[in-house]
């Protein structure tokens, strides 16, 4: 039922993002017990190994990584991942994903965010704060 709702929303919307105040619990920021520099290393090395994603740009000083992903239908998705220092021992990861073009994304940006979070959480499971 929930996935159907996301697909219907995706008929109109072609972007999705995570954050502290997200209404959807699946789109809440993910927190890790790691300083920002260590979290950055884990995130960037994990993203570079993910199939179907291409790292276009990375700026460690501001904690931003820009990725590109092509869908099976040939559309391009632009994904920005932010690694944020919450305090000296804790970091947060937020994701913004948008599809190029004027039509909706049928929920593909939502699924991409979940895929990236799943992969990061698996890689950094020892540091994940639930």
Domains of the chain: which residue ranges?
2-129
Q: What token pair was written down for 10? A: 């995706």
Rounded Cα–Cα distance for residues 11 and 38 (Å): 38
Burial environment of residue 109 by CB neighbours within 10 A (0 to 12, 13 to 18, 19 or more)? buried
Q: Topology of 2-129 in CATH?
A: TATA-Binding Protein (3.30.310)
pTM (two decimals): 0.90
Distance CA 96, CA 101 (A): 16
Closest C-alpha to 75, from 2, 10, 9:
10
- Predicted local distance difference test score (pLDDT) of residue 126: 97
Longest dimension (CA), the chain: 43
pLDDT at res. 104: 72
The pLDDT value recorded for residue 116 is 98
What would the mean pLDDT of 48-77 be, rounded to a whole number? 93
Q: How does the average pLDDT of the chain come out, rounded?
A: 90
39, 93 in Cβ contact below 8 A?
yes
């Amino acid at each position: 039922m929930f996935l159907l709702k996301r697909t219907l929303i995706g008929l109109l919307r072609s972007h999705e993002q995570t954050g502290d105040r997200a209404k959807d619990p699946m789109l809440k920021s993910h927190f890790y017990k790691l300083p920002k520099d260590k979290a950055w290393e884990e995130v960037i090395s994990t993203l570079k190994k993910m199939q179907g994603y291409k790292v276009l740009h990375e700026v460690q000083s501001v904690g931003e990584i820009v990725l590109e992903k092509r869908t099976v239908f040939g559309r391009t998705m632009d994904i920005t991942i932010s690694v944020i220092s919450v305090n000296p021992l804790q970091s947060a990861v937020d994701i913004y994903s948008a599809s190029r073009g004027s039509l909706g994304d049928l929920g593909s940006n939502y699924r991409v965010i979940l895929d990236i979070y799943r992969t990061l959480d698996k890689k950094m499971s020892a540091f994940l704060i639930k």
